[in-house]
Amino acid sequence: MKWLPNYVTAVVIICVLLLAACNGEYIGIRKGENVVHDETTAWSSITVETTTGVDYMSALEKEVMIELNKARTNPAAYAELYIEPMLSQFNGTVFTGYGYNLITREGVAAVSECVNAMKAQTALSALNPAKGLAKTAQEWAAAQGPTGETGHGSGTDAFSERIKKYGTYTGAGENISYGYNDARKIVIQLLVDDGVSNRGHRKNIFGNYTHAGIGCGAHTKYGNMCVIDFANNYSEK
């Protein structure tokens, strides 16, 4: 969701979103039935932990990959466990789930729309890490963070140019989150996509991609940033 005025997120469109993450079991209602998802059975670690043994990603970057893979491989469970409980944590457009007031653009409507969309979303395969994509994402986080700027760059720094540096691909996309150093909050932020009419961040997460690279770091204006680069049929140069 888009919190104003101090947090920003971007895919190609810059937006902001702070959302609460909830743990444990949640009983959701879908199509008139009780649907129960539990973290211990909703996902297999073998499926979602695709970064095991990877030495070029930080602990946070690996956690973000796991959250992405959980959302892709079982979107209904992800929505019911982590996003749907937030529906009761609004006062108008103000989200109160963190114990303080956060102003959103769409309020509970964006969360509700996200939950419904994810329950209807077809499960996809998990993303695999790619060193070249990770380097692309990490270099952009390192370059942009000290400037306090946001976005995907322009000219030789544009994403369309940066993504070519270390590999080849048949399709690619980029998400950037500002303001968080918590993996689940980063991913929920991009899934709800408050204030972005085409839900471009969510579309990237559920895009036709096979690989991802992640770069997280400090940001002088928003505290933290996390770059996620996606690609289909990625091959290292």
Provide the pLDDT for residue 36.
74
Provide the pLDDT for residue 32.
35
190 contact partners, CB below 8 Å, separation of at least 6: 9, 11, 17, 175, 177, 201, 202, 204, 205, 228
Residue, of 121 and 96, whose pLDDT is higher? 121
Provide the pLDDT for residue 136.
98
**Predicted confidence (pLDDT) per residue in 49-100, tens digit:** 999 999 999 999 999 999 999 999 999 999 999 999 999 999 999 988 877 7
Provide the pLDDT for residue 35.
63
**Average model confidence (pLDDT) for the chain?**
87
Q: Is the pLDDT of residue 11 over 60?
A: no
User: Distance between alpha carbon 18 and the CA centroid of its chain, in Å?
Assistant: 11
Cα-based torsion angle of the residue sequence 137, 152, 176, 234 in order, rounded to the nearest 10 degrees:
-40
71 contact partners, CB below 8 Å, separation of at least 6: 78, 118, 187, 191, 205, 206
Q: Are 1 and 189 in contact (CB under 8 A)?
A: yes
The answer to which of 26-30, 122-126, 196-200 has the lowest mean pLDDT is 26-30
pTM recorded for the entire structure: 0.85
